[in-house]
Structure 1
Amino acid sequence: MSSSSNQPTSPKQSVGPDYRDEKQKPTATVSTAVPFENVHTLPQTPQLIALLTMIRDKNTDRADFIFYSNRIIRLLVEEGLNHLPVVEHAITTPVGRSYAGVQFQGKICGVSIMRAGEAMEQGLRECCRSVRIGKILIQRDEETSMPKLFYDKLPEDIADRWCLLLDPMFATGGSAIMAVDVLKSRGVPENRILFLNLLASPEGIENFAKRFPQLRIITAFVDQGLDEKNYIIPGLGDFGDRFYTM
């Protein structure tokens, strides 16, 4: 029996509004469920599945890949912001009426894992004006096959901020784990880190969620698994190459 025969299959379900009859809703592959309270998967809506279909397609050209990836990134950032603390904030409207609202509490910053994570910076800037963004460069050591920290540049007051860690692909989790260790070494509490991610593997999610139980993971989709080369399957290829060069 081939190794691919032993791979778990991705779940499928009808997608669409609840008010539509099941016969009117198409069946599509949806995110794999994971049993961790600190992992939050975007709702598997027709819009999200259609966007993911576009960026997974090997025939999608670079311009369309960038456009549809940016739409998913925007959804991830918006959901990530929902997990930040707010406080009560009453205001008066232009017609003289009061409104019991809320406002964000505390400062935030983005931290991208270079280079693919830099593709998510614009989506964060579009939602958070003048947001500070730090960078971490981690590459795999050719001799040991382990992640190695090459460079980091972070805001001096990062320990006082909520950090949105940005990386679109989450396979084994080695780079993300090292990035979190860097943030924690700079004084950032684990519960002030949110990891925003487009596509993850169940193996990476499990390893990461257990290691950092207070950290929140916001992902668009948990895929089928990893192949023998630790590539996410069915995946979408190399995100950085498709976004920047192909």
Structure 2
Amino acid sequence: MASGAQLSSTSVNATKASPTLPASVYTLPQTTQLEALYTIIRDKDTSRGDFIFYSDRIIRLLVEEGLNHLPVVPKTVETPTGVQYDGVGFEGKICGVSILRAGEAMEQGLREVCRSVRIGKILIQRDEETTLPKLFYSKLPQDIAKRYVLLLDPMLATGGSAMKAVEVIMDHGVPEDRIIFINLISAPEGLKNFCTRYPALKVITGWIDEGLNDRAYIIPGLGDFGERRYCS
């Protein structure tokens, strides 16, 4: 990765999601350890401190896997033993964009593996008159059009906010296929909506839940991520 984003080398190797879901969707390996982490953060009796600690563990895995989907180029280096090693280097620069406010919780996980990474912010809320997502605020790196973008938001329910955020990013000159959307929990309905609109954009999710209830809440879900992280 060029200046402004030095990356760690850890990766967890995401797997393709169910064949019934879009081809652009990847999930973390559904191991018993990962399920144990999700069980903790889903539990309504989990303390705020534990919720933060264990959700941060999942976020770190997701960010690492998002980076694993960035393109690389051949790179040869000389090791301390004086031998040449033919490896790879990251191509281009990256930045993160968090969807406020819950997406801010994922920023630290990105900073832990990408040194000096630039991070933008987008605030999207529902317009009470139209019931559609509406942009209220955005602050993005000036050179975002030249970067790969990791879009950060913990929950994907209907997909409305995420689709609006991608629209904003693309309006700033970022091609669809240079955006990777990272989230902890997705609803199948939201994934289908999102990927139908943006088929060239990759989605890295930790877990795909059963679906949405009549209030558009993810089931079984984990409640309001932002409330549990910042207010419990």
TM-score by length of 1: 0.86
**1:244 Cα deviation after fit:** 0.7
Q: Is residue 21–residue 191 contact of structure 2 (8 Å, CA) maintained in 1?
A: no
Matches within 5 A, 1:31-50: 34-50=20-36
The residue aligned with 2:13 is none
CA deviations over 1:17-69 (Å, ceiling 9, x no partner): xxxxxxxxxxxxxx866431111111101121111111001110000000000
Contact map agreement 1:77 1:124 (CA 8 A) in 2 = yes
Q: Deviations over 1:57-113 (max 9, x none)?
A: 111000000000000000000000011011111111111222211111101000000
Which one of the candidate residues 100, 114, 136 is aligned to 2:122? 136
How far apart are the structure 2 equivalents of 1:145 and 1:55? 30
Match of 2:215 among 218, 222, 229: 229
Secondary structure of 1:101's aligned partner:
strand
Q: Which has the larger radius of gyration?
A: 1
Structure 2: which amino acid aligns with 1:160? Answer: K
- Which residue identity is paired with 2:90? F
2:68 corresponds to which of 61, 82, 88: 82
Deviation string, structure 1 residues 121-151 (Cα, Å, up to 9, x no partner): 0000001000000000001122332211100
Letter matched to residue 161 of structure 1: R
Q: Distance in 2 between matches of 1:87 and 1:111?
A: 24
Runs of 5+ unmatched residues, structure 2: 1-16
Are the aligned partners of 1:200 and 1:219 in contact in 2 as well (CA < 8 Å)?
Answer: yes
Q: Which residue of 2 aligns with 1:185?
A: 171
For the pair 1:153 / 2:153, whether they are aligned, the reply is no
> Equivalent residue of 1:162, what SS?
strand
Aligned residue type for 1:55 = I
CA gap of 1:41–1:80, structure 2 versus 1, over 3 A, is: same
Q: 2:99 aligns with which of 106, 113, 128?
A: 113
1:146 to 1:215, Cα distance in 2 relative to 1, 3 A: same
Letter in 2 for 1:129: R
Quote the Cα distance in structure 2 between the aligned partners of 1:94 and 1:50: 41
Percentage identity across paired residues of the two chains? 67
Q: How many residues align?
A: 216
Asked if 2 retains the 8 angstrom alpha-carbon contact of 1:33 and 1:222, the reply is no
Equivalence for 2:12: none
Aligned equivalent of 1:216? 202
SS state at 2:115 partner: coil
* Alignment match of 1:169 (pick from 144, 148, 155): 155
Separation (CA, whole Å) in 2 of partners of 1:33 and 1:77: 23
Q: Which amino acid aligns with 1:84?
A: L
Gaps of 5+ in 1: 1-30
